[in-house]
Chains A and B, each alone.
Chain A
Amino acid sequence: MSVLIFVDIAEGQVKKVSLEALSYGAKLAEQLGTSAEGVVLGTPKEDLAALGKYGVSKIHHVSNPALDHLDAQLYTKVIAEVAGSTGATVIVFPNNMDGKSIAPRLSARLKAGLISGAVALPDTSNGFIVKKNVFSGKAFANISITTPVKIIALNPNAYPVRTGEGTATVAAFEAKVDSPRVKVISSTKASGEVPLTEAEVVVSAGRGLKGPENWGMVEELAKVLHAATACSRPVADAHWRPHNEHVGQTGIAIAPNLYIAIGISGAIQHLAGVNRSKVIVVINKDPEAPFFKAADYGIVGDAFDVVPKLTEAIRKIKA
């Protein structure tokens, strides 16, 4: 019996969502009175022993160039093998793009109940009940996993990264790796930008900005906050911004610490994607905009006037 955490890496670097999953898995292991171990696939460029500070005692590393890109089928087989040999009874994934590809496959392979999008530690006082978001963040559900092996995919920004003392033992794990059926031919990454799903601060704008040429001030504000940029659906549909910036019910659901909405009225579908944000600031010239009802702080005013001033004020405080 142990808790096994899948440590997702990109270009050799451990993702922030993985640190959250490690912290969550370590806490869960403590709750269950067992140990937490991690599994890393591919070619990491970081010192894996240092992951011990997030609470794991051991890292199983499967090194094979075939695992440098995600092929969910290969990853599933390898993780199933590691889970089997370590006797893992709970397997934790980050519920990011890669986690969403692998965790369901592993669930079907091991006949292990899966909760994807968990937002809290399980209640293990009577069974094994995990809280997750449903109805695109408009509600939550408590769901019981009834199988001996359990899989949890943890939502990004739902559990804080906790660091302590400690070094993990790194053990090479020899797994049978088939040749990949998915051949990655290219990947593009907007360099220097903060990925939307991992961002702690998100600056988002809507139709109130009138046109794509006015996004400079949004990007300026995002820059001083080290924030990711996002947009509402009409903006993405009009191709003012790329579709991967669209947050809302039919776009990406996010849960940053701070969400600043500029010129977005706050339709129910938009709110569904952002209402898990810890603090919401709304800037809109229409005092009747429904978004104000869902906000913590608001300014009724013209974005073109308010946003540059806000950028300056934040620059001062950050200096």
Chain B
Amino acid sequence: MKILVCISKTPDTTAKIAFTDNNTKFDTSGVQWIINPYDEWYALVRAIELKEKDASTIVHLVTVGGADAEPIIRKALALGGDEAFRVNADSHDSFYIASQIASIAKEGAYDLVFTGKETIDYNGSSIGGMVAELLDFPYISLASKFELNGTKATITREIEGGEETAEVDLPVVVSAAKGMAEQRIPNMRGIMAARTKPLKVSEPVAVEALTSVTSFGLPPAKAGVKLVPADNVDELVRLLHEEAKAL
């Protein structure tokens, strides 16, 4: 069993969001970088759990980014995984990144490709589906459970107001959401081991991006809260009904 886990570097969830260069670039000054939480907590940890159950399982990680992505991929290796790939390219758009990952995935002949359900910066939820199409694999998105029986996977995904469980023969691409696994903290042994795990750097394949960002902006600030006394809920209901027209 060979698993490829896609790892993305994102700003910390508490990072201040600001833009520079006439609102065309994300302002990275003072930003702490983390592994995209969906990639780490759900996709990576589930892959490690599968390896713990079956020691012959091989877990590889892939990230698309510059040398500044290496601390993130080392941290991911500290949680688990045998080796990592870094495609040495700046992020262009989802299709560009998916094409790089698909190229690595094709070469490695993986049975399973895991991604997080989305990154917390671009919120595209697109990489998994694009990789699946480029590989001609089935795709299950927003998976909350993943079980493996031989070469068959049983996967539960979120649907509106419920869940749907499906069976699919490997290979398959899965995007992982909450429920797949629980967050782990890397231990000292993992951190030491990660230092010497192979991290292979490759150059990107030539692909045209399909989209480009023209500008960023921040949502307008709220006008300020209107407080209503706790003993006068009727007034709140009146405001919601007449002023906000929300009832």
Residues of A close to B139: CB separation below 8 A: 72-73, 101, 105
- Whether A143 and B126, one on each chain, are in contact in the complex, defined by CB atoms closer than 8 angstroms, is no
A292 within 8 A of B: yes
Q: Do the beta carbons of A103 and B126 come within 8 Å of each other?
A: yes
Q: Identify A296's interface contact among B122, B130, B140, B244, CB under 8 A.
A: B244
Contact B167 A185, beta carbon cutoff 8 Å: yes
Q: Are B178 and A114 in contact (CB under 8 A)?
A: no
Q: How far is the CA of A106 from the CA of B168 in the complex (A)?
A: 20
Asked if B222 contacts A293 (CB within 8 A), the reply is yes
Contacting B at CB under 8 A, from A113-145, are 113-117, 129, 132-145
Residues of the A chain whose Cβ atoms lie less than 8 Å from the Cβ of B95: 107-108, 111, 113-114
The stretch of B54-62, B76-84, B104-112, B235-243 in contact with A is B235-243
| Chain B residue with Cβ nearest A133 | B123
Chain B stretch 194-231: residues in CB contact (< 8 A) with chain A:
209-219, 222-223, 225-230
Kindly provide the distance from the CB of B191 to the nearest chain A CB, expressed in whole angstroms.
Answer: 24
Q: A-B contact count, CB below 8 Å? A: 280
Which residues on the A side are within 8 Å of B215 (C-beta)?
141-142
B98, B144, B229, B236: the one within 8 Å of A244 (CB): B144
Interface residue B164 (Cβ < 8 Å from any Cβ of A):
yes
Q: How far is the CB of B20 from chain A (nearest CB, A)?
A: 13
Mark contacts of A73-114 with chain B using CB atoms, 8 A cut-off: 1 yes-contact digit, 0 otherwise.
100100000000000000000001110111111111101111
Q: Choose from A116, A185, A268 the contact partner of B14 (Cβ within 8 Å).
A: A268
Instruction: Tell me if B's interface is mostly helix, strand, loop or mixed.
Output: mixed
The answer to whether B129 and A108 touch across the interface, beta carbons within 8 angstroms, is yes
Q: Contact: A193 with B161, CB < 8 Å?
A: yes
The answer, yes or no, to whether A64 is at the interface (CB within 8 Å) is no
Q: For A3, list chain B residues within 8 Å (CB).
A: none
CB of A10 within 8 A of chain B? yes
- Are the CB atoms of A105 and B130 closer together than 8 Å? yes
Known A-B contacts A105-B132, A189-B161, A278-B246; A116 and B144 likewise in contact (beta carbons under 8 Å): no
Q: Contacts A101-B139, A107-B130, A249-B120: A310 and B237 contacting too (C-beta < 8 A)?
A: yes
Q: Decide: B160 and A279 in contact? CB cutoff 8 A.
A: no
The answer to whether B160 touches A117 (Cβ under 8 A) is no
A306: which of B41, B127, B230 is its contact (CB, 8 Å)?
B230
- CB pairs A–B below 8 angstroms (16 shown): A97-B157, A101-B139, A107-B129, A108-B130, A111-B210, A134-B121, A139-B17, A139-B218, A140-B216, A182-B167, A201-B246, A244-B179, A249-B120, A253-B123, A298-B226, A310-B236
Binding site for B on A (CB under 8 A): 10, 15, 69-73, 76, 96-98, 100-109, 111-117, 129, 132-147, 181-190, 193-198, 201, 225, 236, 243-244, 246, 249-251, 253, 257-258, 268-269, 272, 275-276, 278-282, 292-302, 305-306, 309-310, 313-314, 317-318
